[in-house]
Amino acid sequence: MSEDRQNPMELKVNIKNPISTLRYLGLSLLVFILIRNLWVSDDAFITLRTVDNFLHGYGLVWNVGERVQAFTHPLWLILLIPVGMFIADPLYVFYIPSLVLSVWTLWIFFRMFAPGLIQLALAVILIGSSSAFVDYSSSGLENPLTHLLLAGFLVIYFRLEPLTSKGFFQLSLLAGLGVLNRMDTILLFLPALIQLLFARGNQFGRSVILLLAGFLPFVAWELFALFYYGFPFPNTYYAKAATHLPSDLLLKQGIAYIENSFHWDPLTLGTVLFGILSVFFQHDSKRISLAVSCVLYIAYVLWIGGDFMSGRYFSAIFLIGLTLLLTFNARNLFGEIPPRVIRLLFLMLILTGLSAERPPISTHSGQPGLYSDQYDIVSERFYYFDANGWINYVKHGGRHDLATKGLEAGQAKISPVEMNTIGMFGYYAGPDIYIIDTHALADPLRAHLPADHGRGIGHYERTMPAGYLETIQTGFSQNLIQHPDLHLYYEKLSILIHGSLSAPGRFQEIVRFNTGHYDRLLEYYWHDVQPDP
C-alpha cells in the first residue's frame, strides 16, 4: 500500500474560506426558518382586493364605485400589481415576493455586517429567534419591503465614507421609497438624514435639493392620492390614529404592546435595547442617530397605542438594533473576551430565544396555546397559520373559513354585507359585493368619526350613523343620513369619493376637507349623539 494514500477515516475537508462557508450555512438555516413560517394575514387581502379591482379595470378602490385608500402601503401595492398579473393563486402572490425580498435582506446583512465568526453567529441567533422579524418577513404586509429598503440604507450609511453627493441621493431615495411604502417609517430614516445634512454643512443647499429629489416618488404619490382619493393620508390613518380616544388610554395600551413583545418575543426588543445601550460605549454620530430613530419609533408606538398584531411595529427597529450590535467593537470596552465566555453568552441567547411564546424554528401546525393576551394583542401568524401557512397549504390545501364565507356571499349576491374582518371575505366575495367594514378601515365616513371607547386596539369600532346604512343600500343614489350636520358632511364628501374626478367644485372641496373646513360639522354631530358622561 502506498504511503501517500490516506486512510478514509483521516480525510480532511479543505475549506479555503471557512467564514464564507459558514455564512452560507447560516443563511440557509434562516431561509429554512423563513420558509417554514411563510403565512398570509387577513389584512393583506385588503390590499389584494384593491389590486384585483385595479387589474379588472375598477380602479385602485376597495368597494367598486367608491374611491377610498383602504391600504397603508402604496409601494407594496404597486409591487403586488405585476405579481398579481402573472400569479393566479392569491396566497402565492404574497409568498413569493415576501420570501425573495426577505432572503435579499438577509444576504445584505450577512455580506455587509457579519464579516467575522462572532458577528455571523450573533446575526443567525438573533434573526432566527426574533418572532417579530420572522413573522413579518411574510404575512402579506409591507414589512419585507421595508426591511430591504432599510437594509440598503444602513449599508450605504455605514460603508460610504466620505459620503458623496451620489451616496446622499441614494440614501434619500431609499428613505423616500421607505416612506412611500409606509409613512411612519420616516422616523427610522429622519435622524440619519438630519445628521448627514449637518455633516455636509458646506454643501447644505445642494444636500437639501438631493433630499427633495429622493423623495419625489413619495411626493408624486401624495399628489395622486390627494387628487384621486381626496386625502393625502390612507383611510387607515383616520380609522386607527385619528381616533379621539384619551391619550392615557392609548399610552396604557402602548405600554402593554411593549410588554407583550418582551413576554412573547424577548430577543426582538432585547436586541433593540442593547443596540441602543451600545451607543453609550462607542460614541459615533451615525450610531447615535440610529439609536435616536429607535427611540422615536418606540415613542410613536406608545403615542398611537401600539397595535393588535404582536411585534409588527418592531420588526424594522429590530434590524437597526441588530446593526448597532454587529457594528459594536466590544474589544475596545472589554478587551479580549475569553472564548468560553462568548460560548456561554451565545448559549444564553439561544435559550432565551427558545423561551419565546412560539419560537420561529419550532413552527408547526396546531401549536397549543392562546393566540391573544388580556389586552387583545394577538399572534396573527399563530391565528392564521393553519389555513394560510405555506407548509400547511402545500400539504392540505383548503381555504380559511373567512375565504369560504366570502365565496358564499359572492355566489348569493347579497349586498351590502357588514363584516368585522374584511380582508379574505372581501377578496373572495368579489367586486360586486359592497363590504361595510365594522372597523371603518375602508369606510370613508365613519373613519372620520370618533371611535367607540375601549374596544379593540388597532381595530376600533364606530357607531353606524342613523340613515347611513340605508344610504349605502340605495347605491348612494340618495343621502338618507338623518342628522343634518352629518348629512351635509357626507354630501360634500361624496363629491370627493363618488362620481367623476373632474366634477365641478371637486378641487375646491378637496381643499376644504384638508384644511378642516368641515370638521365643525362632525363636532356638531358628535356633540348631539354621544352619550352623557
The CA distance from 437 to 11, in Å, is 67
Residue with the three cell numbers 454620530: 285
285 vs 471: CA distance, rounded Å: 57
How buried is residue 244: exposed, middle or buried, by Cβ count under 10 Å (0-12/13-18/19+)? Answer: exposed
DSSP string, 422-459: -HHHHHHH-TTSPEEETT-TT-TTGGGSPPPTTS-TTS
| Residue 467 DSSP code | T
The per-residue pLDDT for range 104-121, each reduced to its tens digit, is 999 999 999 988 899 999
Give the pLDDT of residue 11: 42
Q: What is the three-state SS of 244-261?
A: CCCHHHHHHHHHHHHHHH
- In degrees rounded to 5, what are phi and psi of residue 457? -60, 135
Backbone Cα Rg of the chain: 25
* Closest listed residue to residue 108, CA positions, set 297, 294, 326, 330: 326
Q: How far apart are CA 315 and CA 295, in angstroms?
A: 14
- Alpha helical stretches, state H, 265-369: 266-278, 285-304, 315-326, 330-334, 339-354
Cβ burial, residue 26 (10 Å; 0-12/13-18/19+): buried
Backbone phi, psi, residue 10, to 5°: -105, 5
- Tell me how far apart the alpha carbons of residues 448 and 525 are, in angstroms, rounded to a whole number: 12
CB 99 within 8 A of CB 40: no
Taking the model in full, what pTM does it have?
0.92
Which residues fall within 8 angstroms of residue 504, CB to CB, at 6 or more apart?
A: none
Give the residue extent of every domain in the chain.
18-362, 412-529
Q: Quick one: pLDDT at residue 339? A: 86
Residue given cell 399628489 in the structure block:
223
How confident is the model at residue 8, as a pLDDT?
A: 47
- pLDDT less than 50: residues of the chain: 1-4, 6, 8-11, 13, 533
The model's pLDDT over 302-355, given as tens digits with 9 standing for 90+, comes to: 999 999 999 999 999 999 999 999 999 888 777 788 889 889 999 999 999 988
Would you state the cell numbers that stand for residue 19, as one nine-digit string?
A: 467564514
Sign of the C-alpha dihedral computed for residues 426, 432, 433 and 434 taken in this order: positive
Q: Residue 373: how many CA atoms within 13 Å on its side-chain side?
A: 19
Task: Give the Cα separation of 259 and 251 in Å (integer).
Answer: 12
Residue 9 pLDDT: 46
Residues present in the chain in total: 533
* Residue 294 vs residues 68, 153, 288: alpha-carbon distances, Å: 32, 15, 10
C-alpha to C-alpha distance for 152 and 170, rounded to whole angstroms: 9
The whole-angstrom separation of Cα 241 and Cα 236 is 8
pLDDT at 3: 45
Identify whether the C-beta of residue 386 lies closer than 8 Å to the C-beta of residue 392.
Answer: yes
DSSP, residue by residue, 198-225: HHTGGGHHHHHHHHHHHTHHHHHHHHHH
